[in-house]
């Protein structure tokens, strides 16, 4: 048994799998073939359907006519919007962590949402499928949930020390455990049958240049989405050499980066609303 398998064995209950995400993802690229199935898959969960319709009818989306069923929501708001909301509602369940010093579930969830919208804005700028990158951004730090559940206080302390010493968390993890949260998260997503492009985006989100050629752009996109999320509170991360490296990797001009940041800024209200769910 390798070290990460041992880690999984240590947790009594793994985070609940967001089972809807892998089922809804194929329709992102082919909705026509999957429309009825998609509607049924959402409707089968009455609690999720109720929340989804409530959000679609909220002041934020403000539809011309009240939406009373999933089919109508998809037709009015568009499948991308419904997919994003359904994946947030499904994903939010798996971000529950023990409340120990240094571990802040709410903070990690909000950062995940912001990174999801950040990765999506970068995907749009470089022509990748936005919903897929949104999901990769949403789940990129899920490995931290596994580590917090398995190691509790000890992991909280590692997070506190990393902040105090200004060391990236993934490097502190590698020093302490021999692996990092990106690899742990990718292994969890493989167990959950999340599509391989998303798994690669998560696995390489701190080291996009290590990703295989076919997933390099995806990993770079999540890496940049993560940077843009951090830049909301700490604009100085935009001076980081790693930030400039990934911008160069994606061949993005300064104007394009600014557009991505503005697009992420436009999602501020929806992030606020969904971070309280």
In the complex, the residues that contact Fe ion under the rule CB under 5 A are 141, 226
Among left, alpha and beta (phi > 0; psi -120 to 50; other), residue 251 is left
- If the CB atoms of residues 19 and 172 are measured against Fe ion, the closer one turns out to be 172
| Residue listed under structure tokens 């390489």 | 204
- If the CB atoms of residues 38 and 136 are measured against Fe ion, the closer one turns out to be 136
| Residue listed under structure tokens 């050629």 | 213
CB of 29 to Fe ion, least distance (A): 26
- If the CB atoms of residues 34 and 115 are measured against Fe ion, the closer one turns out to be 115
CB 201 within 8 A of CB 136: yes
Query: What tokens appear for 171 in the block?
Result: 């490097």
CB of 181 to Fe ion, least distance (A): 6
Output the CA–CA distances (angstroms, integers) from residue 93 to 155, 181, 189, 224, in the order listed: 21, 19, 14, 25
CB of 168 to Fe ion, least distance (A): 8
In terms of residues, how long is the chain? 277
Rg of the chain over Cα atoms, rounded to whole angstroms, equals: 18
- If the CB atoms of residues 141 and 183 are measured against Fe ion, the closer one turns out to be 141
Q: In angstroms, rounded to a whole number, what is the distance separating the alpha carbons of residues 277 and 273?
A: 7
- If the CB atoms of residues 87 and 119 are measured against Fe ion, the closer one turns out to be 119
DSSP one-letter code for 135: H
CB of 11 to Fe ion, least distance (A): 19
Query: What tokens appear for 29 in the block?
Result: 């690229």
CB of 110 to Fe ion, least distance (A): 11
């Amino acid at each position: 048994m390798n070290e990460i398998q041992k880690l999984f064995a240590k947790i009594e209950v793994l985070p609940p799998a967001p089972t809807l995400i892998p089922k809804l993802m194929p329709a992102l690229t082919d909705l026509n073939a999957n429309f009825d199935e998609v509607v049924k898959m959402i409707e089968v969960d009455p609690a999720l359907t109720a929340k989804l319709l409530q959000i679609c009818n909220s002041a934020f989306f403000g539809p011309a006519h009240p939406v009373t069923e999933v089919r109508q929501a998809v037709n009015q708001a568009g499948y991308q919007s419904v997919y994003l909301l359904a994946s947030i509602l499904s994903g939010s369940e798996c971000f529950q962590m023990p409340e120990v010093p240094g571990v802040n579930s709410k903070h990690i969830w909000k950062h995940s949402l912001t990174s999801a919208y950040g990765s999506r804005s970068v995907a749009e700028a470089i022509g990748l499928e936005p919903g897929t990158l949104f999901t990769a951004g949403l789940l990129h730090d899920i490995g931290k949930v596994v580590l917090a559940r398995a190691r509790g206080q000890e992991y909280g302390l590692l997070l506190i020390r990393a902040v105090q010493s200004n060391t990236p968390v993934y490097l502190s993890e590698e020093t302490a455990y021999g692996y990092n949260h990106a690899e742990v998260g990718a292994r969890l997503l493989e167990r959950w049958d999340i599509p391989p492009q998303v798994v690669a985006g998560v696995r390489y989100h701190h080291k996009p240049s290590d990703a295989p050629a076919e997933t390099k752009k995806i990993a770079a996109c999540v890496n940049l989405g993560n940077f843009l999320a951090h830049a909301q509170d700490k604009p100085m991360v935009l001076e980081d050499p790693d930030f400039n490296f990934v911008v160069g990797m994606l061949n993005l001009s300064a104007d394009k980066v600014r557009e991505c940041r503005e697009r992420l800024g436009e999602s501020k209200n929806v992030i606020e609303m969904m971070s309280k769910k």
